[in-house]
Every structure is written in C-alpha cells, then in structure tokens.
Amino acid sequence: MSLNQRLVGLAIGAGLTLSVSLAQAGAREQALQIHSRVAGVPPSEAVLLTMTDHINSGDVAAAVRLAMDNDGFYRATLKTMATPWTNRDFTPFAPLNDYTATVMGLVRDEKDFRQLLYADVLYTGAANLSLPAYSNANNAHYQALEDADVELKDALTERSQSSLTGLPSEATAGVMTSRAGAKAFFYAGTNRAMFRFTLLNHLCRDLEQVHDTTRIPDRIRQDVSRSPGGDSRVFLNNCVGCHAGMDPMAQAFAYYDYEYDMAADPDAEFGAIHYNGTGETDPATGTRVEAKYHINAGTFAPGYITPDDQWDNYWRAGPNAILQWDPSLEGSGAGAKSLGMELAHSGAFASCQVEKVFTKVCLRKPGNSADRALVASATSAFAASGYNLKQVFIDTADYCKGE
C-alpha cells in the first residue's frame, strides 16, 4: 500500500471515528457544545459540570439557560446576530448601537420580541456607569459602553425611546425609529429602504420573494417610470410586482428623515432622526410629508402623490397571504408604529426569528425535513412563550446538541 493510500485510509478512519464520537456524544460533550454555540465561549469547569447534570436529568432547558447567563451570549452571540440588521452592508463588525442594544435588552428581559418593531423602547447603558449621555447626534454612548470593561447583560437599562429622542410616543416604532435604524435606512433615498430592510431582516423575505404583479398599482409614486427604457411591459411585469405592495406600506414613514450636514459630514456619522410632528410642514411639500417622497415627480407626473402617512397592506390578499397576517389587525393604519405591529404580528416574523436562531446555534441553515419540523414546532413554542426569544435558543440548542 502506498503512502498516499495509507494517508487516505487514516483520514477516512479519523472521519468515521469523529462521526461515531459525535453520534455517541455524552451529556458532557453536549453541554460543552451548547455553551460554546450559545455563549460563543467554552464554559468554566463548574458550569460544565452543572450543565452536564441538567442534561443527564433531562432538563436541557436549564443547561441552555446557564449558557445564556454568560455575558458572551450578549457580547458575542446576540451582537453578531443583530448587528447585520443595523446596516445596509450586513456587516457584523459595526459598533454597538441603540438598535443592537435594544435587541439584547428585549432578549435578556424575556419581553415579547415583537415589540422590537413598534414599542416606545430603547436600551441604554446603566445610569451608574461613566458614559456619555445618549445623543441623537452620535453613537458615543454605545461606543463607550462597548469599550467599557463591564458585562453587557448587567449594563443595559430599559428606557422609553420618546424620553431619549424627543419623538412623540405615538411616532416611536422600536428599532425602526432608533438612531442606528434611521441612519441606515432613512438616510437619503425615498424611505423605501426602511421597508425593504425591515422585511428582509425581520420577515426573512427580500422584495423578489414577495413579488406580486396582481396588486392594484394605484399607490405607486411619481418617481417610478411606467415605461422603463420605453417599454411599459417592464413596469407591468417587473416594477409593479414590488412597488404595488411596497409603496402603500412605506407610506407609513412619510414624516421621517435622517438629517445631517452633507458638506461637513459626508459619511452621515453625526446626523439625527427627524420627524415632522403635528403642525409642522415641509417647505417642499406643504404638508408633514418629507420632501424625499416627492422627488423625481416628473418621471411619471400622474403617479401617486403622498399626502400623509396612511398605509395599507395590499399583500393581505393574493400570494403574500402566505406571510400569515394577524387577522385581529386591520391591515391599515397611520405611521410607523402601526405598520411595525402589522409586520411583527405576522407568522413570517415569528418563523424568521426561529430560522435566524437556528442558523446561529446549529451553524447551518435549516435544510431537511427534520430541520423544517423543528422550525415549525419552535415557532409554535415561541408564540406560546409570549414571543420570548430565549425559548427559541433553548429549542434549537436542544435539537442540535448532538451534532
């Protein structure tokens, strides 16, 4: 037998041994894997022994909760899971900010995670820490919190967003109206980015996946050409599929903008969210609607002119009914808060959170019938728990503990 053949044989043997060891993983190995995947770091010997005892007694949930007590669950796992939701590049390496901190806080406090898109809430550093004050104009508070030698799980404090940002409580919509959310998705453009990225990050659907050319196109704005390149078929078979549903819902953000000094601050690092409250008008529109909603009006002058922030969900009918919209809600409203509730109370929001946690804990996307069955059962358990995201970590870690 040649050397190469012997090396191949050894590699195959090692692979079989590894497969057998994983298949026969005992409670201690399972505990080690749970902690490493949930907290991002190995456990201390004392914690490992306790987790092993819990698994041996059939109480896997208690073992996972021990892993979630480690600050690595917040500083590593939750941060790297949530940070890509806060920027257009989907990078997990962005600094801690009010969006990410609020995700951490809602998970830590076992709140109804659907509030992420509509509650009057932000999490900041605790008052006893020596940190710069929360500011609408910069991220210094959260940068200092991340740099501080403190455990994030103990350093976060729940605050009302309206008391921090000056937005009226009825204009707050969880992370959508956080400073980080505004900086990323109300920046320039037409505010359609806020809708598209919220759909992508929290319902696990991009616009191509909700494309529906059967909806009435009566709310598509003036800036969308009805004959791109001189061919109206492109609009009817492509553009209308996204805009007919998106534009009526993105109207919820009509009074919001992210304002900054373009000359002195080209990267928009020191801007702030802006909201036209009652009695305020935009000089370009003559109403509370921000000027960005009327840009490029000459592209198709007969198109829809946004008069207010009234939104309607045309996707409740047609193929996108599969997103499981909450029948107890009306499917229409005014402003970002009610739209956030419409999105967060959908079945797609719940299953999306489970899929994201599954990928984080199992280190792969759900891919087979057993995985899909787990996602379905964990989604039901998520709802039954009052949308406590820790329950999803427990169910997915239990499922993947022997892999």
Are 197 and 326 contained in the same domain?
yes
The residue among 112, 137, 171 that closes a domain is 171
pLDDT in tens, 186-211: 999 999 999 999 999 999 999 999 99
Q: Are residues 167 and 193 in the same domain?
A: no
**pLDDT value at residue 403:** 82
Task: Specify the pLDDT at position 336.
Answer: 98
Co-location of 120 and 255 in the same domain: no
Domain identity same for 104 and 225:
no
218 within domain boundaries: yes
Q: Residue 190: give the domain boundaries.
A: 186-345
Listed residue (391, 178, 395) closest to 273, CA to CA: 178
Quick one: 162 and 191 in the same domain? no
- Structural domain contains residue 400: no
Residues of the chain with pLDDT under 70: 1-25
The verdict on 198 and 320 lying in the same domain is: yes
Domain boundary residue, one of 306, 328, 345: 345
- Please check whether residues 120 and 156 belong to one and the same domain: yes
pLDDT the model gives residue 149: 86
Q: According to the model, what pLDDT value does residue 1 have?
A: 47
Q: Tell me, yes or no, whether 12 lies in a domain.
A: no
Are residues 165 and 89 part of one domain?
yes
The predicted pLDDT at position 226 comes to 96
Same domain, 190 and 276: yes
Q: Are residues 313 and 211 in the same domain?
A: yes
Same domain, 127 and 213: no
Asked whether residue 141 falls in the same domain as residue 196, the answer is no
